[in-house]
Amino acid sequence: MAGHWALMNTPLGPIRVTWDAGKLTAVDLEPAPAVAGGAPAVPGAFARALDAYFEDGAYRFDLSLRLAGTTFQQEVWGALRAIPPGRTLTYGQVAHELRTSPRAVGGACRANPCPIVIPCHRVVGAHGLGGFGGDLSGRKLTVKRWLLGHEGARLPG
């Protein structure tokens, strides 16, 4: 998706924030090393919202978004935005709510272009943390654990 981007320092390390026409389009928690072409700074509304979240895990995002995804993915992302900070649901619970399968919910979570803002980290496995961004171990799972802890969620397993 076309647009502007900038790197922002966070407690998780640098993240890449992408926007177009005043709407947030992506948050990359593991940006590649910076290349020429990024904007000098994340626009005020996006930076303030992300800073507010990192300051207080109970912060609820209310940003204008433009998300590229299928109708089904958009439906899942809408359900994720309804999960309050500090609470988790299993893939199966979200799937039951949407009358689909846990695997399909996991696929939509993996395709989420705006992690943190669309809180896919609040969806966990039935018997443990589950994955994050397609990862079942490593740094991404450490980030998921950190985000849930920051929000005061009780961690599974």
Active site residues: 120
Using H for helix, E for strand and C for coil, what is the string for 76-110?
HHHHHHCCCCCCCEEHHHHHHHHCCCHHHHHHHHH
Calpha distance 94→140 (Å, rounded): 21
Residue 90, token pair as written in the block: 């299993």
**CA–CA gap between residue 42 and residue 47 (Å, rounded):** 6
Burial class (CB in 10 A: 0-12, 13-18, 19+), 1: exposed
Q: Helix (H, G, I), strand (E, B), or coil: what is residue 93?
A: helix
Beta bridge partners of 115: 118
Find out whether 92 and 133 touch, Cβ atoms under 8 Å: no
